[in-house]
Structure 1
């Protein structure tokens, strides 16, 4: 087989295309690695935030339970006072300014 200039031109174009393809794949792989690292960081940050929110929700639930206990005690005390007056109906709330 005789190596003509056209043959060498085809080989050169093939090598150039292969080089461009490989370089593009390397750049794409590097970019995907950076995006994956960024996604991992953001996922970790969201996990930390969620943990803080869960702690806050637990604190709110404790406070609500405490207030509910106080309200139950107040209801019981009012019931005791009302039963002593011969009624079980709570007094009607008064309107402001009236």
Structure 2
């Protein structure tokens, strides 16, 4: 009976130890992934900004004077936001997150 109790006690300690190891590994991996994502965003963001700027400049130079007058300051906002989102998504797809 004492042997069974000792074995149960040791098994509980072992299980708790393994749970702690698992939690610590998950915490470390989350931190690594977060750091990698930040680094990748820092690398990708300038390219996205350049792409958006080039698109806006191309739109501005391609539109006629009457279009410029009717569009006003915020006329192409939705198209621009859509392009920004698209550029962001494609840039994100170009560089997958490495979890190792």
**Which entry has the higher C-alpha Rg, 1 or 2?**
1
Q: Tell me which of the two structures has the higher relative contact order, counting C-alpha pairs closer than 8 angstroms and 6 or more residues apart.
A: 2
Paired with 1:63 and 1:86, the residues of 2 have a C-alpha distance of: 39
TM-score relative to the length of structure 1? 0.56
Task: Please report how far the alpha carbon of residue 87 of structure 1 lies from its aligned counterpart in structure 2 after TM superposition.
Answer: 7.1
Q: Give the gaps of 5 or more residues in structure 2.
A: 69-100
Paired with 2:66 and 2:17, the residues of 1 have a C-alpha distance of: 72
Q: Aligned residue pairs: how many?
A: 68
Q: Give the gaps of 5 or more residues in structure 1.
A: 1-20, 89-98
- The Cα RMSD (Å) is 2.3
Runs of 4+ off more than 6 Å: 84-88
Structure that is richer in helix per residue: 2
